[in-house]
Amino acid sequence: MRTIDLGLTPYRDALTTQHELRDQRRADAVPDTLLIVEHPAVYTRGRRSEPGELPYGAEWYAERGIEIVDVDRGGKITYHGPGQLVIYPICKISNVGDFVCRLERAIVTALAAEGISARGRSTEGIEYTGAWVENRKIGSIGLHVSHGVTTHGLSVNVDCDLEPFSWVVACGLDTPVTSIAQETGAADLSRFRERLVTALATELTPRSTPVP
């Protein structure tokens, strides 16, 4: 499994890169790939989003420097910003439900290494997909699958501003949001990135290791 770290990258630029990699993966020109990024502040609205999820209107959010982008992934609205780790797996899959569970397990494993007890909840209903610390959401998952290849992926709040989550109905749920920093008092994004990439490589391609 290959990894590509784009660092802090505007959302639309990363989306273009995803699409390029998806087309290459379909043609077997590249192996399964983890695209690793942070984004400037942006709300993305998935296929199940509803108008009421942005209660203040686009202009209000623009004044606060937050872009709004409609995307073809599953799920509803979510927030991305600096200090949040985002990983887009560009992978060939045959079972979406199994793939989502593997992503959840990888997040839970990486969080456990940070001393955080979390759980995946996709089996409780599509609206609960992701990683949770008690009733607080710490990681989100939203995918699009085309011709058996995934785009979009997962995000974990490491050490980011959580206030923008309160300005929308994040993921369609009125529930608390948390981060590694909030749960433990400190967070190291580089360390967690390494832990999560290793956990994903283990879950998605057993006996493999991530290759730069």
Q: What is the pLDDT of residues 188-200, one digit of tens each?
A: 999 999 999 999 9
Res 58: pLDDT: 85
Burial class (CB within 10 angstroms; exposed 0-12, middle 13-18, buried 19+) of 36? buried
- Spell out the residues 6+ positions from residue 64 whose beta carbon is closer than 8 angstroms to its own: 41, 164, 167
Provide the percentage of residues in the chain whose pLDDT is more than 70.
92
Mapped onto helix, strand or coil, the DSSP state of residue 135 is: coil
What is the mean pLDDT of the segment spanning 141-162?
A: 94
- Spell out the residues 6+ positions from residue 73 whose beta carbon is closer than 8 angstroms to its own: 44, 46, 47, 142, 143, 144, 151, 152
Chain position carrying tokens 């206030």 = 163
What letter represents residue 93's amino acid?
Answer: I
207 pLDDT higher than 50: no
19 or 76: whose pLDDT is higher? 19
Res 209: pLDDT: 46
Per-residue confidence at 187, pLDDT binned at 50, 70, 90? very high
Per-residue confidence at 123, pLDDT binned at 50, 70, 90? confident
Res 171: pLDDT: 52
Sequence spans of domains, the chain: 2-204
What is the mean pLDDT of the segment spanning 74-82?
A: 86
Chain position carrying tokens 């209000």 = 60
Task: Reply yes or no on whether 171 is catalytic.
Answer: yes
What letter represents residue 69's amino acid?
Answer: V
Query: Which among 91, 101, 160, 171 is annotated as catalytic?
Result: 171
Res 46: pLDDT: 80
Looking at every residue in the chain, the average pLDDT score rounds to 90
How far is the C-alpha of 204 from the C-alpha of 103, rounded, in Å? 8
Which class is 2-204 in CATH? Answer: alpha beta
Per-residue confidence at 134, pLDDT binned at 50, 70, 90? very high
